[in-house]
Amino acid sequence: MQAATVTDATTTARITAASTATPTALPRTRSRRPLPRGLTAGLFGVGAALPEREIDNQHFEDRLDTNDAWIVRRTGIRTRRWLDEGAPLAPLAAEACTAALADAGRSADEVDHVIVTTITPDRITPGLAPEVARLIGAHGAAAVDVNAACAGFLYGLDQAAALVETGRARVVLVCGAEALSRLTDQEDRGTAVLFGDGAGAVVVAAGELDRGVSRFVLGCDPEQGDLLYADNEDRKLRMEGREVYRHAVARMTEATTEALAASDLTVDDLDLFVAHQANSRIIEAAANELGVPHEKLAINVDRVANTSSASIPLALAQAERDGLLQPGATVALAAFGAGFVWGAGIVSWKELRHVCA
């Protein structure tokens, strides 16, 4: 299986041009064969895409009362990527999906369902997923957006596994794609430095797997919704940082502990812990609470900042490139976001080389 790839806006330009072209074929109706019973959903490919425009911390020193040392100390973030103003997000998501399919050795024609998790779609409606399906050539596939903020990718992954294991789909693309630069208040010292844009995707399909994608522990606490939100009038992310930090660490720790117990595993059985890349302090605090050693942490928030629902697939792709993920590795995933919503689950990484169903 080839390594996961990261693409940038130079490559994305090809798909941007394609997005304005007249469709050459009508979506086709698919004849789906029944899925064999007893197979397990697993991860078979990963892809990532980042905008070309890079924003380092110096950008904020010039306009806010802050500096690089303070930003790195408080967040771990050194740089982030932003889409150009007015640029669409769908082509970036399509690049990530195309890379994931190539990594899994699958084609767009085999995709039954496209799930895109995002809080920053290009339009209010239609959602991002139908356009992503069109751009990658998944004609006839179902397509739907999921909005669960920073936990969205885990919610989408849980839905994808359920679709596969109930026989409703054979191959599902789950893509986290965000353009948080659209929601960032550049004059807010507390949040302006935190957010970036990007997209990451995985291919979920069935196989004769030992673990695959285990059941996710998901939850919400809507009483805390006003601590992290963006409303329709202001359209900027607003956050009570200390409270969000406290809740994020507690909820990700609790959910991961429950997910490990449900899988009859302990922290010692993990090869890697991949948490939502909100900031390095939250990731490290959750790991400390769980007892995960630093060498088993996936951290790329220093390079891409907080990309909301895109952060976990981006971190998975980076971990594989860095040699932290090998086929068959046992990985804990955990995320927390606005709502509050959260989730955690245990997956095996590319347990089989090829999709067998």
How confident is the model at residue 19, as a pLDDT? 46
Show the DSSP H helices in 105-215 as ranges.
128-136, 152-165
Q: Inter-axis angle of helices 128-136 and 90-104, to 10 degrees?
A: 50
Task: Report the alpha-carbon distance of residue 338 to residue 241 in Å, rounded.
Answer: 12
* Per-residue model confidence (pLDDT) at position 2: 42
How many degrees, rounded to 5, is the angle at CA 287 between CA 289 and CA 100? 145
Q: Kindly give the parts of the chain with pLDDT less than 70.
A: 1-38, 353-357
Write the pLDDT tens digit of every residue in 228-270.
999 999 999 999 999 999 999 999 999 999 999 999 999 999 9
Q: Kindly report the CATH number that applies to the domain delimited by 217-349.
A: 3.40.47.10
Whose tokens are 């430095």? That residue is: 193
DSSP 100: H
- Per-residue pLDDT tens over the stretch 48-96: 999 999 999 999 998 898 999 999 999 999 999 999 999 999 999 999 9
Any idea which residues carry the catalytic annotation?
A: 150, 276, 306
The pLDDT value recorded for residue 352 is 72
**Mean of the per-residue pLDDT values for the chain?**
91
What are the distances in angstroms from CA 173 to CA 141, 198, 309? Answer: 10, 16, 14
Q: DSSP assignment, residue 271? A: S
The phi-psi region of residue 148 (left if phi > 0; otherwise alpha if psi is between -120 and 50; otherwise beta) is alpha
pLDDT recorded at residue 17: 45
Q: What is the pLDDT of residue 30?
A: 55
Is the dihedral angle over the CA atoms 77, 82, 85, 88 positive or is it negative? negative
Segment holding 71, helix H or strand E: helix 68-75
pLDDT at 10: 46
Matching fold, domains 6-21+39-53+80-207 and 217-349? yes
DSSP 4: P
Q: What residue spans define the domains of the chain?
A: 6-21+39-53+80-207, 217-349
Do 270 and 295 form a contact (C-beta atoms < 8 A)? no
* Chain-centroid distance, C-alpha 223: 25
pLDDT of residue 23: 47
pLDDT at 63: 87
State percent of the chain over pLDDT 90: 84
pLDDT at 29: 53
Burial 230-261, CB ≥16 within 10 A → b, else e? beeeeebbbbeeeebbebbbebbbbbbbebbe
Q: Which CATH topology does 6-21+39-53+80-207 take? A: Peroxisomal Thiolase; Chain A, domain 1 (3.40.47)
Q: What's the pLDDT at 38?
A: 66
End-to-end CA distance of the chain: 17
Write down the pLDDT at residue 20.
Answer: 45
The proportion of the chain whose per-residue pLDDT surpasses 70, expressed as a percent, equals: 88
The reported pLDDT for the residue numbered 18 is 43
SS3 assignment, position 164? helix
Per-residue burial over 173-204, b if 16 or more Cβ lie within 10 Å, else e, is bbbbbbbbbbbbbeeeeebbbbbbbbbbbbbb
